[in-house]
Every structure is written in structure tokens, then in C-alpha cells.
Amino acid sequence: MPQLTTEQKQLIEKIGVFHEQQGFPPATGRIMGLLYVTDRSHLSFEEIIDTLNISKSATSNSLNMLLQMHLIEYTTYPGDRKRYFGALLENWHQEVVNKMEQVLSFSKLVRQANELRGNANPSMNKLMEERVDFMEYLSQQVPKLMENWLQQRKK
């Protein structure tokens, strides 16, 4: 079981709260916090339960959700039947692209809502159209920013 400082425990809780605010169950955010804070690349199911003091069910559900979302990975070791979980840090580029795709998909829905609502409330329509325009602009600009940033890192 990883030994955590008081500061690390507090940070895990802060990361957990952040993820809760994003719609994740409490255990899910705390697991992400633990995987970010620990100095070990992977932790076993039991180590996660013991360290965070959460139930097997909450741990299992959270790990499955995080695996499906490609936010964590697991590995096994020869002769050991346990699975060891770690944050999937290499895919953050794809995570950003996926978020932008979600923004673009939502902007299309907002645009459709605006069209269906009609012209009874022009000030609301204008604000909604501004939001859609910005979301579309953002979804076009972020991939360019990513490419520029990656190019600069190669130098």
C-alpha cells in the first residue's frame, strides 16, 4: 500500500472533488487523484481499496468506467493473477480531441434548438448563436493549437 503524506491525501481529495464537479462518481475522482499522486506507476485493486478506504463495488465500478473512458490502463505480471491499474497519461492528446468533438456535437444541438425555438425571443437567440459560434470556433482552433504546441516541443 502506498504511503501518502497529508499533502498528497489532501490533493487526492481536491482532484476527487474536481472530477465530481465534472459528473464523475466520488470514488472515480479519488481513484484518478491517487493514480496521479502516487509515485508508483500501477496499483493493485486491493491497494486502491485500502489506500482510499472505499468499497470493492465502488472501486470496481469506477475502474471499469475509467477503463472504458481510456483514462486508465491495467497491466499484469507473469505469475501474478492481479491486475495493476495506472493513469493512462500518453493519450492526453486524444482526450483533448475527443473533448473538442463533444463541444462541436453539442454546438450542433444548440444550433438546432435555436432554429426550432423560432424568433419569439431574439435576445436569447442571439446569445445562443454567439455560444454556438464560439464553440465551433474553439473546435477548429484547438487542433491547430495542439499541432503548433507539438511542433514547438520537437525543437
Whole-number Å distance between alpha carbons of 96 and 46:
31
Whole-number Å distance between alpha carbons of 138 and 125:
20
- Asked if residue 1 is part of any domain, the answer here is no
The CATH number of residue 58's host domain is 1.10.10.10
Residues 78 and 124 in one domain: no
Residues 81 and 121 in one domain: no
pLDDT on residue 98: 82
Report the 10 Å Cβ neighbour count for 93.
12
- Asked if residue 115 is part of any domain, the answer here is yes
pLDDT on residue 17: 95
pLDDT on residue 76: 94
Whole-number Å distance between alpha carbons of 43 and 154:
32
Cβ contact 75:42 at 8 Å:
yes
| Residue segments in the chain with a per-residue pLDDT below the cut of 50 | none
> What residues make up the domain containing 133?
92-154
Residues 96 and 80 in one domain: no
Alpha carbon distance, N-terminus to C-terminus of the chain: 40
pLDDT on residue 147: 87
Report pTM: 0.75
pLDDT on residue 36: 94
Q: From the centroid of its chain, how far is CA 115?
A: 32
Of the residues 54, 87, 120, which one is the last residue of a structural domain? 87
Cβ contact 81:44 at 8 Å:
no
The vertex-59 CA angle with 90 and 68, nearest 5°, equals 40
pLDDT on residue 68: 92
Cβ contact 91:70 at 8 Å:
yes
* Residue 43: DSSP 8-state: E
pLDDT on residue 85: 97
